[in-house]
Copies of this chain bind each other. A is one copy, B any other.
Amino acid sequence: MEGREVVLPTVFRVALCGGTHGNELSGVYLVRERLKRKRKVEEEDHIYVVTVMSNPRAVQQCRRYTETDLNRCFTHATLSGPVTDKTPYEIVRSQELNTLLGPKGSPEAMDLVCDLHNTTANMGLCLIAYSDCDWISLHIYRYLQARENNPHRDSLFWMHFLIRVDLPYSLDSVGKHGFAIEIGPQAHGVVRSNILSTMQEGVQHMLEWIHLFNSGTQFEGGKVDVYTMVKNVDYPRDFETRGITAAIHPQLQDRDFCLLRPNDPVFQTFSGETLKYKGTEPLYPFFINECASTAS
């Protein structure tokens, strides 16, 4: 990129969403506190922020979702599907959110949608996006990394979610730019002060960058590390019952974004046997032991 100057439109209309999964509480409380301070819509110089509680019913029940995972509903097909009395709540809600923040793919869509999540995995602060060449998002990431005295700079990651370009299904795909901020480890249904502070600082720095950018600040190019998702690895399962037969090996547990080499331990079966990584290529695992439950 050196020497090449890119001029991009301002990022004026920003959506900040929490509670897309109702039991991931850092985003729920960050959004709730902003809304309490009457900041549902916040207009300052150069920036207009809409704060949204994405799935209020699931938040109320402290569950991931009530009928279907809201964060899988933002495909063009689901967003344009018919709605009847029997349509799951989350599909109805995805269409409401698409009206509020989109329509997805249209010129009216929000300039940036930032969706706040937690994970039970030890992933630090991780930005997750469908692209590895969205300059806006990558510059925000770089700004977060570069913040002086940032105690989290060694646990800041960019994860590129590789998926067919017409198929993004998550809420952040409604904006012209978008990413999820995923912070862990935190048990679902629990709020930890340190994790909430990390999220608050991340959001504050993101808004700072947008403010600077919209004010005409030029940002130098540079390099950032990007982790691209190449595959999901499921647990070993019983052939008949499909129940899992092993847990993450203690030597892998909590080592998200650390290099896993061929023959390193991956699983420990419930009978005590160690299962090793059989691939030939070193990989960086992430979302290690993320809560498998999709129902709670």
Contacts and interface: CB of A to CB of B under 8 A. Distances in A.
A61 B190 CA distance: 20
A232 interface: no
A189 B271 contact: no
Given A196-B247, A247-B196, A253-B194, A292 B189 contact: yes
B296 A63 contact: yes
Contact of A293 (B186, B189, B243): B189
A293 B23 contact: yes
Interface in A80-132: 120
Given A33-B271, A243-B32, A247-B196, A291 B253 contact: no
A62 B189 contact: no
Contacts of A187: 120, 185-188, 190, 291
Interface in A170-217: 185-194, 196
A296 B62 contact: yes
A250 interface: yes
Q: Which of A191, A194, A196 has the most CB of B within 10 A?
A: A191
B188 A268 contact: no
A239 interface: no
A139 interface: no
A33 to B, nearest CB: 5
Q: Which of A23, A188, A271 has the most CB of B within 10 A?
A: A188
Given A33-B271, A196-B247, A295 B62 contact: yes
A189 B188 contact: yes
Contacts of A257: none
A124 B187 CA distance: 16
A29 B270 contact: yes
A253 B192 contact: yes
B193 A250 contact: yes
A42 to B, nearest CB: 17
A10 interface: no
A64 B63 CA distance: 11
Interface in A216-266: 243-244, 247-250, 253
Interface in A27-47: 29, 32-33
A209 B253 CA distance: 32
A130 to B, nearest CB: 26
A176 B242 CA distance: 37
11 contacts: A32-B243, A61-B295, A63-B295, A120-B189, A188-B188, A188-B293, A188-B296, A189-B291, A192-B248, A192-B253, A193-B253
**6 interchain residue pairs of minimum CB distance:** A187-B187, A189-B293, A62-B293, A189-B291, A296-B296, A120-B187
